Amino acid sequence: MRVYGIKNCDTVKKVRKFLEEAGVDYTFHDYKKDGVDADKLAGFVGEFGWEAILNKRGTTWRRLDEATQEGVVDAKSALDVMIDNPSVIKRPIVEGAAKNFIGFDAVAWEMALELGELK
């Protein structure tokens, strides 16, 4: 299992604590430290849709100039912005053994643990 995110993100901290308390082994990929793999990100966009991956509610998005924001109209333009600004990628994205996840919902994750989807 691999968790993608940013180390100081509150949601990522919750996820890491959840997984550690559940005894789930995982590798953490920090976008700030380890960079963004464009092909991997494109795969997530293909699976979840660029609208779900691009976080338009965060401060990084709000700090982008208007032209950049208005230029995001499809997967390609969204990928370009996310690669240049990893903080606009929704966090976390988790590659599980049987299923990938985006965001964190403790109840859904408890169920996924019971089904073996998070191991």
Reference 54, options 63, 45, 65; nearest CA is 45
- Structural contact between residues 94 and 2, judged by C-beta atoms closer than 8 angstroms: yes
Catalytic residue among 9, 45, 78, 112: 9
Reference 1, options 28, 21, 38, 41; nearest CA is 28
Measured distance CA(102)–CA(43) in Å, rounded: 13
- Is 9 among the catalytic positions? yes
- Structural contact between residues 2 and 26, judged by C-beta atoms closer than 8 angstroms: yes
Q: State the CB neighbour count (10 A cutoff) for residue 58.
A: 16
Catalytic residues: 9
